Amino acid sequence: MAEKFYCKWCGQNFSNVSSLTANSCSRNPEGKKHELYEGSEKSQYTCKYCGQKFSSISSLTANSCSKSPHKKHSPAL
C-alpha cells in the first residue's frame, strides 16, 4: 500500500511531500501552498478546536468551526 501525504488545510492527498508543498491550497488561510498534516491516517479525525469528529480530513476542513481562529475545523494530531 502506497503511503499518502495529506494537506492539513484541505485534506487532499499526494504521493509525496514535494508534490504536496509545490501546489497552492485554496483553503490555506494565508493563501499559500498546501501544508503537510503530520498526524497518522485514522478512521476518524477530530477538530483540535471543538472536538467534533469526521470520517476524513477533507470533510473536516470543509466545514466551519466557530471556535477556530481560521473559522474552519483543523485536524488534531
Task: Report DSSP letters for the chain, one per residue.
Answer: ----EEBTTT--EESSHHHHHHSB-TT-TTS-B--B--S---SSEEBTTT--EESSHHHHHTSB-TTSTTSB--B--
C-alpha cell at 63: 466545514
| pLDDT band with cut points at 50, 70 and 90 for residue 24 | very high
Q: How far apart are CA 26 and CA 15, in angstroms?
A: 19
User: Residues of the chain with pLDDT > 90: what percent?
Assistant: 87
Question: How much is the pTM?
Answer: 0.85
C-alpha cell at 73: 475545523
| pLDDT band with cut points at 50, 70 and 90 for residue 30 | confident
HSE-CB at 72 with a 13 A cutoff on CA atoms is: 19
